[in-house]
Amino acid sequence: MFQIRIHGRGGQGVVSGAELLSVAAFLDGRHAQAFPSFGSERMGAPVMAFCRIDDKEIRLREPVLTPDALIIQDPTLLHQVELFNGVPKRAYILVNSTKSLDELGLGGFARGIQQYRLCTVAATELAMKHVKRAVPNVPLLGAFAAITGAITLPSLLAAIREKFSPAIAENNVRAATEAFDAAGKAREAVDA
Amino acid sequence: MLKQAEGSHAVAEAIALCRPQVICAYPITPQTHIVEGLGEMVKAGELDCEFINVESEFAALSVAIGASATGARTYTATSSQGLLFMAEAVYNAAGLGLPIVMTIGNRAIGAPINIWNDHSDSMSMRDAGWIQLYAETNQEALDLHIQAFALAEELSCPVMVCMDGFILTHAYDRVDVPSQEQVDAFLPPYEPRQVLDPSDPVSIGAMVGPEAFTEVRYLSHHKQLRALTVIPRLAAAFTSQFGRDSGGLLRTYRTDDAETIVVALGSVNGTIQEVVDEMRQDGARIGSVSLCAFRPFPLATLREALKDAKRVVVLEKCLAVGLGGIVSDGVRKSLSGIVLNGYTVIAGLGGRAITRASLRRLFEDAGRDELEQVTFLDLNADVISHELEREGKQRRTGPTAEAILRRIGTVASRIG
């Protein structure tokens, strides 16, 4: 089972991001379960959503406590929320930021005993470029597909087209694809 | 057709496939997405039905009662305080024998106000005369609604389908949505026992005095006892029509040689089964029972499932304040004359996560018979003792909930 925890703020599409992940995994022929952190979704407030992907039916209903991947949609949460709770060694961590890991103060996590496979994605910038709104969820999912391989890009794009109206979907498809390509190039560095 | 869908939407699709003629809608979290989904289908012309936006939950069920009395297949949904607000009508629907189907998106009851999941709402109406079915998964929630109309209409008895708020209603899962032809083959058109019809007038809702009230009530009870046979028959018919198991009175999981058996309702059974598997691997003889039917309560079937165990742990998402468990009462009744250790565990109140780690510790304690009669899972003992100490020291302690929140501090930063 592959477990993902998405952190962000209300209005950034955290819950939609988890749903899209689950639809993409479903389209890949896998079982998936996505659910929000239940209710406290207000604009700007810290929000969490979860996704599990497996090859068999998922019975577990607890929150994702030991994520294989963490998606951080808002880097200002780094200092407010216990984001790294339960995150095991070698987990994938994607941070929405234009800064480097060291500038974010995260370099140590990558080099230290955690050996986190960290990657920054300029997701808000990609969203502004293609979608004209600061909604970083879709570009982060594109990067997630490239970095983890837990979902495929074609299924992610299909999930986007299922969720959004045609015009908005195509903008998001472009954002996801550019993030996927950029992250793919960075993947070797992350895996190293 | 297999699809990845939100639980609420899957249920809305199931309801639409049942061809309801009247839907009464009033929003309350976490049920709202279901009636919203149905409203969208009606607006888009995909579902031909009378969709009535009412002014309150009391009106929702009152309109449903009127609609059902005219012979219409009728549906509504609610949660929490909404169910309490319609309480009088809940009893009336059952007392009149009107086969309304209502979804409960299970949510706690205030005060303190809480929008998250537990079973306090539906449990508060457990003796109103409705059949109550609890879904373990979104697939089962979808399937139970199809069975619920068949069950309600065969018996002329309203049915609540209870699904855990957020945990199921807001979860995206893989579901198999049947075709219209399949549902039509399973669910015949509604043939009412009683109809308000101007061309053949009757009155429904007579005042009944002591001369007949007991008999009317006895017949309600008798109807529920008949449901103990009808529910498994419909579940079997469902399996042959749709090719999967859903519903029934209860389901056992690895109970054959189990010394410890856990009994629970709803979605927590999935997590319990994961823990049962873990502990079985380590040699523990443990199993579980998922109770699908809570009203009628399947005393005999449950007794058969539990009779050879050494101990039974009833895990409940509700609390009878001043007593302990609600489900436990029925479980004990089913075990009359059988000597074993029985434990009640109150868990998941107001949406508190029920984790594998906590369940494993709990079941291991149970296995050593080191549990109290009533245990509150993951109770924060520090908060309790601090609050009790404060109350002991001063009179004007102020509101309890606010004091506890101040002590706990911000919760937005927490994961579990």
Percent of chain A with pLDDT over 90: 76
A76 touches chain B (CB under 8 A): no
Separation CA B118–CA B164 (nearest Å): 7
Helices (H), B284-393: 299-306, 327-334, 356-367, 381-393
Give the per-residue pLDDT at B416. Answer: 58
Give the per-residue pLDDT at B402. Answer: 92
Nearest to A60 among B30, B274, B412 (CB): B274
Mean pLDDT of B291-300: 98
Nearest to A33 among B172, B353, B354 (CB): B172
Strands A46-54, A31-36: pairing is: antiparallel
Give the per-residue pLDDT at B236. Answer: 98
* Contact between A46 and B170 using a beta-carbon 8 Å cutoff: no
pLDDT band with cut points at 50, 70 and 90 for residue A38: low
pLDDT band with cut points at 50, 70 and 90 for residue B346: very high
Give the per-residue pLDDT at A110. Answer: 77
Mutate to test the interface with A, among B172, B253, B267, B411 (most CBs of A within 10 A): B172
Give the per-residue pLDDT at A105. Answer: 87
Architecture of domain B2-242: 3-Layer(aba) Sandwich (3.40)
- Coil vs helix vs strand at A71: strand
* Contact between B171 and A34 using a beta-carbon 8 Å cutoff: yes
Place of tokens 């008798």: B222
Residue B413 has pLDDT above 60, yes or no: no
* Contact between B414 and A82 using a beta-carbon 8 Å cutoff: yes
Architecture of domain B250-376: 3-Layer(aba) Sandwich (3.40)
The 10s digit of each residue's pLDDT in B388-401 is 999 999 999 999 99
Give the per-residue pLDDT at B177. Answer: 98
Return the DSSP state at B177. P
pLDDT band with cut points at 50, 70 and 90 for residue A15: very high
Fold agreement (B2-242, B250-376): yes
The residues facing B322 across adjacent strands are none
Residue A190 has pLDDT above 60, yes or no: no
- Helix (H) / strand (E) element for B127: namely none
Chain B residue numbers touching A20 (CB-CB < 8 A): none
User: CATH no. for residue A56?
Assistant: 3.40.920.10
Return phi, psi of residue A177, to 5°: -70, -40
Q: How far is CA B67 from the centre of its chain?
A: 24
Chain A residue numbers touching B351 (CB-CB < 8 A): 38-39
Residue B103 has pLDDT above 90, yes or no: yes
* Contact between A38 and B351 using a beta-carbon 8 Å cutoff: yes
A106 touches chain B (CB under 8 A): no
Q: Where are the beta strands (DSSP E) in B15-60?
A: 22-25, 50-53
Residue A187 has pLDDT above 90, yes or no: no
B115 touches chain A (CB under 8 A): yes
Cα maximum dimension of chain A: 45
Place of tokens 């979902």: A151
Give the per-residue pLDDT at B40. Answer: 97
Nearest to B416 among A34, A40, A65 (CB): A65
Separation CA B178–CA A170 (nearest Å): 31
Return phi, psi of residue B103, to 5°: -85, 135
Return the DSSP state at A75. G
Buried b (16+ CB within 10 A) or exposed e, A17-43: bbbbbbbbbbbbebbbbbbbbbbebee
Q: Domain limits of chain B?
A: 2-242, 250-376, 385-416
Question: Containing domain of residue A26, as a range?
Answer: 2-191
Of B80, B168, B119, whose CA–CA distance to B328 is shortest? Answer: B119
* Contact between A59 and B270 using a beta-carbon 8 Å cutoff: yes
Give the per-residue pLDDT at B411. Answer: 64
Chain A residue numbers touching B166 (CB-CB < 8 A): 35-36, 38-39
For residue B62 the two structure tokens come to 């009152």
The 10s digit of each residue's pLDDT in B108-162 is 999 999 999 999 999 999 999 999 999 999 999 999 999 999 999 999 999 999 9
* Average model confidence (pLDDT) across chain B: 96
* Contact between A38 and B170 using a beta-carbon 8 Å cutoff: yes
Shortest CA gap A30–chain B (Å):
9
Q: ∠ CA(B272), CA(B278), CA(B284), 5° rounding?
A: 95
For residue A129 the two structure tokens come to 């470029």
- Coil vs helix vs strand at A54: strand
B268 touches chain A (CB under 8 A): yes
Nearest to A81 among B117, B173, B412 (CB): B412
Chain B residue numbers touching A82 (CB-CB < 8 A): 413-415
User: B268 in the Ramachandran plot: left (φ > 0), alpha (ψ -120 to 50) or beta?
Assistant: alpha
The 10s digit of each residue's pLDDT in B215-266 is 999 999 999 999 999 999 999 999 999 999 999 999 999 999 999 999 999 9
Mean pLDDT of A82-100: 93
Residue A81 has pLDDT above 90, yes or no: no
A84 touches chain B (CB under 8 A): no
* Contact between B412 and A62 using a beta-carbon 8 Å cutoff: no
Separation CA B285–CA B367 (nearest Å): 9
A39 touches chain B (CB under 8 A): yes
Give the per-residue pLDDT at A188. Answer: 62
